[in-house]
Amino acid sequence: MRKFATRCTDSAHAWFTRIRYHFDNGVAQGPAIFVTTLGILGFVAALVITLLGWMVGAFGESSAGSVFTSGLWDRLDAILFNNAVPDGNWAVRAVWALQWIPTITISATIIAFVTTTMTRRLESLKNGTSPVIESGHVLILGWSNRIFPVLQQLSLASGSRRRLVVIVAERPASGMLNEIEARCPDLGRLKVVSRTGDPTNPVALSRANILRAASVIVLEPDQGDSASIATVLAVKSLDPSLKIPVVVEVSDPHHATALRHATGEKVRTVTAWTIIARVTAQACRQHGLATALADFLDFEGNEIHVTPARSLMGRTYRDALTAFESARVIGIERGDSPLLNPLPSTEIVEGDALIVVANDVVTEAPHHARAVTKKAPRISTPWNDSPENLLVIGWSTMGEAVLNELAPFVRVGSTVTVLADAAYVEQRPAGSYGSMTVEFIDTKGSTHGLEAALAQRKFDQVLVLAYRHGIDAASADAKTMLILLLINTVLKGSNVRLVAEILDSRRADLALLTEPDDLVVSDRLAAQMMAQLTEDSRLASIFNDLFDATGVSLNVYPIDLYLENNDSVSIFELIEMAAERGESLVGIRKSTGHIQMNPRGSAIYTAVPGDGLIVVCE
């Protein structure tokens, strides 16, 4: 019996497979087979239903002949013709039945056409191929992880005003918006519109209404600088004179220089590699510098602004230093060139503007000749507290850039010890950078290796760099945080400073739990710089001078260079003391590590051991 049932099941399956095969082939040949098959199926269904109805007595006392003539027709009419065939003889019914074939064919064709058209239209809208009709928007071309901190910074810069950002990238438009919503849940009044398209194609840029955009940001994609350069050329093909401010991210400084020269300095370039290296080097120099530099770039606190100086014309730079209650002056903009921390006797002339650090655009009228008691600082000679022995854990080409930036600041005889896993190192460090000698030790990051290095030499500070070769960003950041936990265990209770680099800003809060003295967040720094230049392109040369290893730089000097312990003075008096040393005061670093940028001029400050002044000077 079981064999018989199995045989019947197999036969039924083979029969169904054969019918399905012929049906599929028929449909592929055209609609005739499909319509005919529907008719046959409809007839079979009507016959089965009529038979079941007769068996259960659904037709009452009707004879079998009437059931399988009029009853069968009624079922067929209901299933195939929706009861649309009028009563009559079989000839009339046949004529009306023939009408069913063209009716269903034409109706199906119309429905299919409308459905296909609407599907294509909806897919087009979903992919973001419709033109942008709004103006005054920020146009972002390309896609990378830095797009998320860029949007966050633009949101902070916008404040309470509504602003539109249009993104053009070779990704599904809905996918971009979903990812932005997940990574940037609160953008305030910043509205984001995405469009799928090739940023190097002028047609895609025209669709994004580039000629009516307020500014353009070109993000460096994974392909490297070639795509960024091609995108700039596409922008220039539509706007030959480059009237629209364009900020371009590139990785090669030579490409950045070439782009600026080729466009008559109208394109502003951001070399993320250079910014990260410079800020990391500054963080290694003195505690608090990385935080202060990040504060300049972040729209959330105090930023650098350029404000007119007409009312101070004829006065000196020293007069300007105390002219504002709520802004700290750090230089003069003369023409297109910034003069950061010029000589106090420098006269302000027609056309000059002041470079200030303020919480917002300066609306305060400057005081022409504020009466400030001038006190001499305790020590007027230069001061240098550069580290002499640096331990670097982890290595990449970024490490080489950091040491090149750090070399001009350190004293002769300084040493660098690099502990890194050679499996993730593409090129080992050179034997020396400037006056610093370098030793490389291959290690897997074990406690034993770290303790051996610390036993060999006393280090002033430890720099943890992210690996960039043979490893993805998430894994590199995980290694960095593991090393930070290990270092905290080994160095617990010591005075060794700890500086760390994190590649992805999403993991910055986790890294802070390991309590580094300074944390450099790579993707956030580049994004902040791009957002700043989008708001004011004049800041490019100012940031370049301030971040550069040569010339004027940001410094943190001990408070005991200026005041005795517990001495109390106003910030204006402290500004005068710094000016006497040839410095422009920007803020105060508390002994607790808190950074107070742009303190109010009339505020009273009391010197505490361990505090430091943040100043701009040579």
* pLDDT tens-place string over residues 534-574: 887 778 778 877 777 667 878 888 888 888 888 888 888 89
- Please say if the pLDDT value at position 46 is more than 70: no
Scanning the structure block, which residue is given the tokens 């009437």?
66
* pLDDT tens-place string over residues 485-531: 888 777 766 677 788 888 877 777 777 777 777 777 777 777 888 88
The DSSP annotation for 188-220 comes to: TTEEEEEEES-TT-HHHHHHTTGGG-SEEEE--
Rounded CA separation 560/607 (Å): 8
- Please say if the pLDDT value at position 314 is more than 80: yes
* pLDDT tens-place string over residues 362-413: 777 777 667 676 777 767 666 665 567 888 888 888 888 888 888 877 778 8
DSSP state of 569: E
- Please say if the pLDDT value at position 36 is more than 80: no
Mean per-residue pLDDT, 81-97? 62
pLDDT of residue 139: 92
What are 604's strand-pairing partners?
570
* pLDDT tens-place string over residues 177-190: 888 888 888 888 88
Residue 167 zone, left/alpha/beta (φ > 0; ψ -120 to 50; rest): beta
Rounded CA separation 43/34 (Å): 14
**Which contiguous run of DSSP H or E holds residue 270?**
strand 267-271
Alpha carbon dihedral 538, 186, 180, 293, in 10-degree steps, equals: 40
Rounded CA separation 104/82 (Å): 12
Domains of the chain from N-terminus onward: 26-123 (no CATH), 138-265 (3.40.50.720), 389-521 (3.40.50.720)
**Which contiguous run of DSSP H or E holds residue 320?**
helix 317-321
Q: What are 231's two structure tokens?
A: 């995108």
Rounded CA separation 173/122 (Å): 12
Identity of the amino acid at 267: V
Closest CA to 223 of 201, 259, 249: 249
Closest CA to 77 of 54, 53, 93: 93
Rg (Cα) of the chain, in Å, rounded?
37
DSSP-based three-state secondary structure for 445: coil
Rounded CA separation 42/226 (Å): 63
DSSP-based three-state secondary structure for 299: coil
pLDDT of residue 97: 64
Mean pLDDT of the chain: 79
The DSSP annotation for 325-385 comes to: SSEEEEEEEETTEEEES--TTPBP-TT-EEEEEESSS--SPPPSS--------S--S----
Q: Residue 165: phi, psi to the nearest 5?
A: -120, 130
* pLDDT tens-place string over residues 274-297: 778 888 887 777 777 777 777 777
Rounded CA separation 578/321 (Å): 10
pLDDT of residue 263: 83
**Which contiguous run of DSSP H or E holds residue 440?**
strand 436-442
